[in-house]
Amino acid sequence: MEKIYVTRPLLPEIDEYITEIKEIFESQWLTNMGKKHSELENTLKDVLKVPNVSLFNNGTIALLTAIKALDLPYGSEIITTPFTFAATPHCITWNGCKPVFCDIEPERMTIDVNRIEEFITPNTSAILGVHVYGFPCDVEKIEEIAKKHNLKVIYDGAHTFSTEINGRGIGTFGDITMFSFHATKLFNTIEGGCLTYNDDNLVRKIYNLRNFGIRSQEIVEEVGINGKMNELQAAMGLLNLKIYKAEQEKRDKIKNFYDKNIEGIKGIRLPKMSDNVTNSYQYYPIVIEEDYPVTRNRLYDIFNEHDILTRKYFYPACTDYDCYKNDLAVKLADLPVVNDLKNKVLCLPFYGSLTEEVLNKIVGILKGQK
């Protein structure tokens, strides 16, 4: 059996993509906000149910720009979680701000809103929440805290493409939300990402920041960077927008298979999505508790021995990285839930083309540890 990966990129028919590429070649407009770029931006407004979308060449540059666009004071503190991908705290640090790490909730595994206020100081400028595996943060409580303390709110929504809370697009919460369109994501543009936001006043600023600050051939308004998505990426996105829902339907069937066959296994906990939240179907995480016969790490190795590549996601926590762990505040950080779950969560293979044979093998391995 060939190796089974934790995810596979969603790809359109190659002939359809070649047709798109031919159009780009004929136009000779490869980048700099071309026709396909504009079409994708406008279409995503409807898909994500947001008033403003700004496309980027990747999610990290998008998040860097989000923090920059809010004019947060240099050296200020941004409260976030260490249970996330490295890009989240790195973007804070690259902006000259300091990530302050808060613990997470044990169920949804997002930032613990009941602990945020203990980290707020006169130097705090923002809260950066991370919607993990598609589980949204407690956006209402975060908004309440932010208003009380006059803080900006940024969301890392890399895992929540198309997620809605009570029918409202998740990209409308907070000041700015970043979405990743990396090849590993449900919806991808090979590499890419976007920012969504409600404030129309940010449109010009974000446009400038992703384009070197250049407004015209003779006017440079901002100290910007190059964050533009090219036409080849945008073309891939336009085609994948036509098929991502079909992929979600396939993943829903796989989720139901997993749920039905894993739920009764002693020592495995399945995190549950709230009824008012739509599932993005980005990942399928399970939690390996102490009463399971083997540890998460041993289970990970067993899967590898069968050429099934699961993911210890997120391990290590960002507070374990060499670039953060020696900070005094990090050394003193009280993070019991993060330090527990980083050793327990395992993401199983989760993509539409998984066969019943492979799914049965995965479940069989889970049940076979006695």
In CATH, the number for domain 14-102+109-240 is 3.40.640.10
pLDDT per residue as tens digits for the range 96-130? 999 999 999 999 999 999 999 999 999 999 999 99
Beta carbons within 8 Å of 361's beta carbon, 6+ residues apart: 306, 308
Domain locations along the chain: 14-102+109-240, 248-368
> Is the per-residue pLDDT at 225 higher than 90?
yes
For residue range 227-245, list pLDDT tens digits in order. 999 999 999 999 999 999 9
Residue 369: per-residue pLDDT: 82
Confidence of residue 368 (pLDDT cuts 50, 70, 90): confident
Q: Tell me what pLDDT residue 1 has.
A: 66
Tally helices (H) and strands (E) across the chain. Answer: 13, 14
**Cβ atoms within 10 Å, residue 214:** 14
What is this structure's pTM? 0.97
- pLDDT tens for residues 122-180? 999 999 999 999 999 999 999 999 999 999 999 999 999 999 999 999 999 999 999 99
The pairing of beta strand 214-216 with beta strand 219-220: antiparallel
CATH of 248-368, one of 3.90.1150.10, 3.30.720.110, 3.30.300.160, 1.10.1030.10: 3.90.1150.10
Count Cβ atoms within 10 A of the Cβ of residue 229 and give its class: 0-12 exposed, 13-18 middle, 19 or more buried. Answer: buried
Rounded (10°) CA dihedral 342, 348, 350, 354: 170
